């Protein structure tokens, strides 16, 4: 049993503590750990409360809340997506999240989730690529070399057997940044001058660009048979990356169809176009890749259960460490019904 004051102090993981924790564990170990938690939660998919995320759209971007619960814990993430932000020196995506105990409703963790989102998105991508990419896949084209790109590359290395990434971005400075960050990480890095060049010899193609429009990062003629496409950037109504003709040729795999039909590449297709849910492939209830020539497409938008898994992972990792500080977030009167009395008594202490 926690004492009342323990209960009221919520572990808070700041950006600084998150970075220290990641270095303590190691980036690739953490990606593997996150992938294991995500896989475990996907395998018990039916247990969860699920809803498409609650999105508030504006001209410049979107702010979203992503809640879910397994009946024991409850989690949510606050996340934005503002493609124009980098011009003002701000991130496209920032986030924080909270995990709570369902029995009492008390929060048990508050944490930064900007870095954690990059890690969990990459871990999910690699988990899915391990499941769907053609046998022996080891070269990845990485199109869009922004904030997510190094995490995507390292997760594919740690989890899906990728040993070479071929980088392309419309902004050469982004490619230079990504290449420099990946130097010495045990992965061959090739900087390319076009998306076509990046895709030469790649069995996995990751698109991770940010633009609030129906973009065509990949056209139909760029995609040969047998590849796995990991489409990360199209994650909002009116924001996609792939030509619809590619979708017609691909076996499409999604997290949660109800949300992906609103936000993913498949918003460009008929609402009844067949898709396969990743959790069903993981549990053997649905088939993954059918043959060597099939184009598999992970139409990733990011789902609340992945954040829930990440929150669980962080809660378990920080236990007994100094990688957090207790936050005085919850009022804690000695007599739970005497909230006003607590306020009164505090006056004498000012």
Q: Which residues are catalytic?
A: 235
Our finding on whether 61 is near ligand NAD (CB under 6 A) is no
Contact set for ligand NAD, span 249-308 (CB under 6 A): 300-302
Whole-angstrom Cα distance, residue 224 to residue 294? Answer: 10
**Looking at 10, 158, 174, 304, which residue binds ligand NAD (CB under 6 A)?**
174
What's the token pair of residue 325? 């500080």
Of 217, 254, 278, 305, the one binding ligand NAD by CB under 6 A: 217
Q: C-alpha angle with apex 115: 112 to 117, nearest 5 degrees?
A: 90
Please identify, using beta-carbon distances, which residue of 296 and 323 lies nearer to ligand NAD. Answer: 296
Point out which span in 11-19, 65-73, 165-173, 179-187 binds ligand NAD (CB under 6 A). Answer: 165-173
170 belongs to the binding site for ligand NAD (CB under 6 A):
yes
- In the complex, the smallest distance separating the C-beta of residue 344 from ligand NAD, rounded to whole angstroms, is 46
In angstroms, what is the minimal distance from the CB of 60 to ligand NAD? 13
Which residues lie closer than 8 Å to 239 by C-beta, 6 or more apart? 83, 211, 212, 213, 214, 215, 233, 263
The minimum distance between CB 299 and ligand NAD, in angstroms, equals 9
Instruction: Write each residue from 78 to 117 as x if it is in contact with ligand NAD (CB under 6 A), else as -, in one continuous string.
Output: ---x----x-----xx-----------------------x
Q: How would DSSP label each residue in 191-245? A: E-SSHHHHTTT-SEEEE----SSEEEEE-GGG--TT-EEEE-S--BTTBEEE-HH
- Whole-number Å distance between alpha carbons of 4 and 279: 39
Please report whether residue 189 would count as binding ligand NAD according to CB under 6 A. no
Q: Could you give the CA distance from residue 87 to residue 190 in angstroms, rounded to a whole number?
A: 26
* Residues binding ligand NAD (CB under 6 A): 81, 86, 92-93, 117, 121, 143-148, 169-171, 174, 208-211, 215, 217, 232-233, 235, 300-302
């Amino acid at each position: 049993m926690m004492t009342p004051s323990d209960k009221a102090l919520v572990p808070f993981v700041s950006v600084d503590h998150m970075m220290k924790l990641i270095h303590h564990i190691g980036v690739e170990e953490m990606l593997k750990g996150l992938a294991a938690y995500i896989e475990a939660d996907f395998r018990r998919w039916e247990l969860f409360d699920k809803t498409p995320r609650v999105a508030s759209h504006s001209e410049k971007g979107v702010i979203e809340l992503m809640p879910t619960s397994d009946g024991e814990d409850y989690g949510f993430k606050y996340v934005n997506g503002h493609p124009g932000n980098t011009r003002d020196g701000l991130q496209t995506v920032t986030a924080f999240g909270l995990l709570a105990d369902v029995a009492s409703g008390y929060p048990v963790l508050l944490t930064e989730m900007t870095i954690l989102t990059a890690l969990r998105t990459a871990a999910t991508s690699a988990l899915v690529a391990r499941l769907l990419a053609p046998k022996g896949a080891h070269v990845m084209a990485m199109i869009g070399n922004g904030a997510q790109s190094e995490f995507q590359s390292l997760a594919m290395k740690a989890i899906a057997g990728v040993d070479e990434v071929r980088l392309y971005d419309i902004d050469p400075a982004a490619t230079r940044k990504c290449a420099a960050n990946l130097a010495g990480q045990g992965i061959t890095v090739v900087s390319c001058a076009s998306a076509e060049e990046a895709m030469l010899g790649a069995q996995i193609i990751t698109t991770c660009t940010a633009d609030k429009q129906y973009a065509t990062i990949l056209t139909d003629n760029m995609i040969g048979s047998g590849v796995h496409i990991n489409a990360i950037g199209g994650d909002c109504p009116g924001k996609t990356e792939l030509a619809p003709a590619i979708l017609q040729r691909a076996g499409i795999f999604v997290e949660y169809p109800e949300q992906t039909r609103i936000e993913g590449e498949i918003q460009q297709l008929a609402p009844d176009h067949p898709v396969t849910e990743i959790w069903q492939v993981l549990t053997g209830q649905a088939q993954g890749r059918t043959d060597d020539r099939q184009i598999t497409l992970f139409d990733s938008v990011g789902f609340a259960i992945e954040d829930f898994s990440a929150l669980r992972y962080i809660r378990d990792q920080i236990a007994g460490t100094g990688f957090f500080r207790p936050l005085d977030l919850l009022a804690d009167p000695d007599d739970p019904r005497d909230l006003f009395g607590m306020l009164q008594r505090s006056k004498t202490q000012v």
